[in-house]
Structure 1
């Protein structure tokens, strides 16, 4: 059990640092492209890992650790909510549809590879 926790923690360290840096660099424009990128890439990556059928330790490291820490549901919700309360309901809806549509599509493509 301890090795599973270590696998998730080590992967999570990598994913969290990647998310921080990507968001810092790309969340400065009209849309938070950093959040969109990390969530899209994470969706593809988790689909791909699931399709590979790796052993449990490697699945925990890559999918739960790296991809789990790379993606960010809470930041996505904050961004959507911010658009909504600022009266940008169209942008909130568009960003939501784009994020979830792209994420599902990329997870499917990753799994199929």
Structure 2
């Protein structure tokens, strides 16, 4: 049963990542990987909300946390895009991507936990 919840969440998260990434990136004429940045920060916020919600049971955590957020966020693409920026001589963009992604991701996770606790979820 647990694997099914993870698979169902991933079935939503993976296409959501792809579609969001393409929609965001198409609106920016920049080397910076805005699409990946947005999906990763959004996933961190969702996971933070879920973590801070005391009412979230184990099944919901598997569905949304492991399945949805696991497929929505993408450390491998973040790493690849940062490496490609470095290789193409866009070192400043690569450094900005690394620093901004980690900082914003952690900030979003902490904000999600705090928000969930504040509303008593």
Q: Which residue of 1 aligns with 2:67?
A: 65
Q: TM-score, normalised by structure 1?
A: 0.94
Q: Which residue of 2 aligns with 1:102?
A: 104
Q: Which residue of 2 aligns with 1:6?
A: 4
Q: Kindly indicate which of the two structures has a greater share of residues assigned to helix.
A: 1
Q: Which residue of 1 aligns with 2:118?
A: none
The gaps in structure 2 that reach 5 residues or longer are 116-121
Question: Which structure 2 residues correspond to residues 1-113 of structure 1 after superposition, within 5 A?
Answer: 3-28=1-26, 29-30=29-30, 31-53=32-54, 54-113=56-115
Separation in structure 1 between the aligned mates of residue 51 and residue 98 of structure 2, nearest angstrom:
24
Superposed CA deviations along residues 48-82 of structure 1, whole A, max 9, x for unmatched, are: 10011311111000110111110011110111000
Aligned length: 111
Q: TM-score, normalised by structure 2?
A: 0.88
- Root mean square deviation, CA, Å: 0.9
The gaps in structure 1 that reach 5 residues or longer are none
Separation in structure 2 between the aligned mates of residue 72 and residue 40 of structure 1, nearest angstrom:
10
